[in-house]
């Protein structure tokens, strides 16, 4: 039978009661379906439940907590977190959607098989945590007001940008329609459930895209305290935000609490060591990845390799199109691509300077449109003073920074790092370090061109003062080392981490000293940056 024929049969059977469930029980014998696997969770549940029960017997009653997850890996992580909270006396409920993919449709027959598979594993947590499939609880009769309808459309747009890694989205496209349908279904179901059950706290990972973003916005619409969390590239750390989307990386309160405190020699040495590792393309401490493909090679070699002379150098460092840290970050531009196009056009007649565009090395791993394509479409032949560094080019961005006179960025942290090197840097997007005091932050194209023009007249005049350089270093320390809070289980390595930090260890006196505050923040205890423990 052809694939098309099988899909046709599945579409028919998907609407017949109990067919998918019986097929899963009789033919698959309880095994995972395709990529939707909770096997690691299932393997660790006996120990998890044993430790949850032992710890819970000595705990005091806590809060009624709702956790939400979609996609199998987030479901596993939310289950681990939910049982951890249960062991401390809280009453958690895990609401989930049994999807394995966000970008491709799935027939109802296979989706129901995934649903019964997830249900059979998650119901094992019943002594300590309630689990609710929102596929089974779908409530299409719940009306969404204009605010929530707009939210669904906006998140569906972000999802499409994130998936296709482009900024211009056709709302008639298959991906937008898929994301809109799923997000709207989720909004209706979550709204109905939260209105009925009204938890004390909602915890949702990410909180910006897909059904995770929908849950965050619905909970905030109902004015329920909501926590969002995500992971960066540091082990045993996570980002956490209270009543905010963590992917917005709002460091305002942290900076207000720490901006006047002078870094100790130890702190300064630590951030310098981190920066050096980034430049050398080497791993450092608990960071799990490198930031460059090749180590630094020296300024003279890089000038020769790129073909640069003694004219001033302007470096534009791009983000990856559709990256979650760029979604909705416009200040005055239509999009990041539009800003890059207009900037290239600005520099075409400016042969008194050299304009270098460093396309993000992360584009090597992406599947969407490249900045390279956008620039070549705009201008197939670039003038001699405009240089395009492609993602695969064996060039270290920090070598380029070392010879840069003026920096231009959207939201990438390279902007912060250029300021740390004293380079006057214009920040166009809404990034976490915009407005801190060591970058130039225009609010319109008129101001952008004025700033840029003035800098190009005499770049040395705009070189940052020592005071602003020190400010950038101080901010970088707090962003890299204080903003991520201690947390035992990283999403990427959660079961390896669990072997090192099981529930008994995490909630021991020593474990609570390290992780206790973070679990408190997740359950609604105020994250007061003035009273947070900092390493000296």
The pLDDT tens digits for 446-460 are 999 999 999 999 999
Residues 16-32: tens digit of each pLDDT: 554 555 554 555 555 66
The pLDDT value recorded for residue 292 is: 46
The reported pLDDT for the residue numbered 385 is: 97
pLDDT computed for residue 367 by the predictor: 66
pLDDT single digits (tens) 484-498: 999 999 999 999 999
Q: What is the pLDDT of residue 146?
A: 97
Query: What pLDDT does residue 281 have?
Result: 56
Residue 207's pLDDT band (boundaries 50, 70, 90)? Answer: very high
How would residue 536 be classed by pLDDT, with cut points 50, 70 and 90?
Answer: low
Question: Average of pLDDT values for 166-174?
Answer: 93
Query: Residue 33 — pLDDT band, cuts 50, 70, 90?
Result: low
291/86: higher pLDDT: 86
- Cβ within 8 Å of residue 16, ≥6 positions away: none
Name which of 445, 453, 529, 439 is nearest 485 in CA terms.
529
Residue 46 has pLDDT above 90, yes or no: yes
Average pLDDT, the chain: 89
In this prediction, residue 283 carries a pLDDT of 43
Report pLDDT for 369: 75
> Which one, of 343, 322, 361, 336, lies nearest residue 407 by Cα?
343
Segment 404-423 mean pLDDT: 96
| pLDDT above 70 as % of the chain | 89
Q: Is the pLDDT of residue 288 over 50?
A: no
pLDDT 10s digits, 295-325: 566 778 889 999 999 999 999 999 988 888 8
Q: Residue 291: what pLDDT?
A: 45
pLDDT at 56: 95
Whether 294 has a pLDDT exceeding 60, the answer reads no
Q: 10 Å Cβ neighbour count for 70?
A: 25
Judged on CB neighbours under 10 Å (0-12, 13-18, 19+), 477 is buried
- What is the pLDDT averaged over residues 160-172? 92
Share of the chain above pLDDT 90, in %: 75
- The yes-or-no verdict on residue 70 having pLDDT over 80 is yes
Res. 35 pLDDT band, cuts 50 70 90: confident
| Among the ranges given (163-167, 245-249, 366-370), the one the predictor scored with the smallest mean pLDDT | 366-370
pLDDT at 330: 95
Q: How confident is the model at residue 502 (pLDDT cuts 50, 70, 90)?
A: very high
DSSP 419-454: HHTT--EEE-S--TTTTSSSSB--SSHHHHHHHHHH
pLDDT in tens, 335-363: 999 999 999 999 999 999 999 999 988 77
Q: How confident is the model at residue 49 (pLDDT cuts 50, 70, 90)?
A: very high
* pLDDT for residue 142: 85
* pLDDT attached to residue 410: 97
Cβ count near 11 (within 10 Å) = 12
**Residue located via tokens 């991906």:** 175
The pLDDT score that the predictor gives to residue 232 is 86
pLDDT for the residue 289: 43
User: For residues 61 and 89, is the Cβ–Cβ distance under 8 A?
Assistant: yes
The SS3 of residue 328 is coil
What is the topology classification, in CATH, of domain 262-482? Rossmann fold (3.40.50)
Q: What is the pLDDT of residue 32?
A: 63
Task: Give residue 60's Cα distance to chain centre.
Answer: 34
pLDDT confidence bin for 444, thresholds 50/70/90: very high
The pLDDT of residue 165:
87
Closest to 357 measured CA to CA, from 372, 370, 338, 346: 372
Tens digit of pLDDT for each residue in 233-253? 888 999 999 999 999 999 999
Q: Check whether 95 has a pLDDT greater than 70.
A: yes
Average pLDDT over residues 473-482: 95
The yes-or-no verdict on residue 65 having pLDDT over 60 is yes
């Amino acid at each position: 039978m052809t694939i098309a024929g099988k899909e046709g049969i599945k579409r028919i059977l998907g609407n017949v009661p109990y067919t998918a469930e019986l097929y899963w029980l009789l033919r698959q014998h309880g095994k995972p379906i395709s990529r939707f696997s909770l096997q690691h969770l299932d393997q660790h549940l006996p120990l998890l439940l044993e430790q949850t029960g032992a710890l819970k017997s000595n705990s005091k009653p806590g809060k009624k907590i709702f956790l939400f997850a979609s996609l199998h890996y987030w479901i596993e992580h939310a289950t681990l977190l939910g049982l951890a909270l249960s062991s401390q006396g809280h009453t958690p409920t895990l609401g989930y959607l049994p999807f394995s993919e966000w970008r491709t449709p799935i027939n109802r027959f296979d989706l129901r098989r995934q649903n019964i598979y997830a249900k059979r594993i998650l119901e094992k947590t019943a002594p300590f945590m309630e689990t609710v499939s929102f596929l089974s609880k779908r409530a299409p009769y719940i009306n969404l007001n204009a605010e929530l309808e707009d939210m669904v459309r906006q998140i569906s747009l972000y999802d499409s940008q994130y998936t296709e890694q482009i900024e211009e989205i056709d709302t008639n496209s298959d991906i937008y329609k898929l994301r809109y349908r799923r997000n709207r279904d989720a909004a209706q179901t979550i709204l109905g459930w939260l209105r009925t059950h009204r938890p004390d706290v909602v915890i949702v990972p990410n909180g910006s895209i897909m059904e995770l973003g929908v849950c965050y916005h619905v909970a905030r619409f109902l004015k329920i305290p909501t926590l969002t969390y995500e992971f960066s590239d540091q082990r045993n750390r996570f980002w956490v935000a209270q009543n905010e989307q963590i992917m917005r990386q709002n460091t305002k309160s942290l900076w207000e609490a720490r901006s006047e405190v002078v870094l100790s020699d130890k702190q300064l040495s630590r951030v310098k060591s981190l920066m050096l590792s980034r430049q050398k393309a080497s791993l450092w401490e608990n960071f799990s990845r490198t930031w460059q493909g090749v180590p630094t090679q020296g300024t003279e070699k890089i000038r020769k390799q790129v073909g640069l002379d003694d004219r001033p150098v302007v470096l534009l460092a791009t983000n990856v199109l559709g990256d979650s840290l760029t979604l909705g970050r416009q200040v005055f531009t239509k999009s990041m691509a539009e800003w890059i196009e207009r900037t290239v056009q600005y520099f075409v007649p400016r042969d008194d300077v050299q304009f270098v565009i460093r396309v993000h090395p992360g584009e090597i791993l992406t599947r969407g449109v490249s900045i390279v394509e956008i620039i070549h479409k705009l201008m197939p032949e670039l003038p001699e003073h405009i240089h395009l560094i492609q993602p695969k080019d064996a060039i270290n961005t920090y070598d380029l920074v070392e010879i840069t006179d003026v920096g231009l960025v959207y939201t990438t942290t390279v902007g912060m790092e250029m300021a740390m090197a004293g380079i006057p840097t214009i920040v166009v997007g809404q990034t976490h370090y915009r407005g801190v005091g060591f970058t130039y932050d225009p609010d319109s194209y008129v101001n952008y061109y004025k700033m840029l023009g003035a800098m190009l007249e005499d770049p040395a005049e705009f070189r940052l003062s020592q005071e602003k350089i020190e400010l950038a270093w101080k901010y970088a320390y707090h962003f890299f080392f204080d903003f991520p809070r201690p947390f035992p289980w990283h999403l990427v390595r959660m079961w390896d981490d669990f072997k090192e930090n099981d529930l008994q260890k995490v909630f021991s006196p020593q474990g609570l000293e390290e992780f206790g505050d973070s679990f408190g923040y997740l359950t609604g205890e105020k994250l007061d940056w003035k009273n947070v423990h900092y390493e000296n």
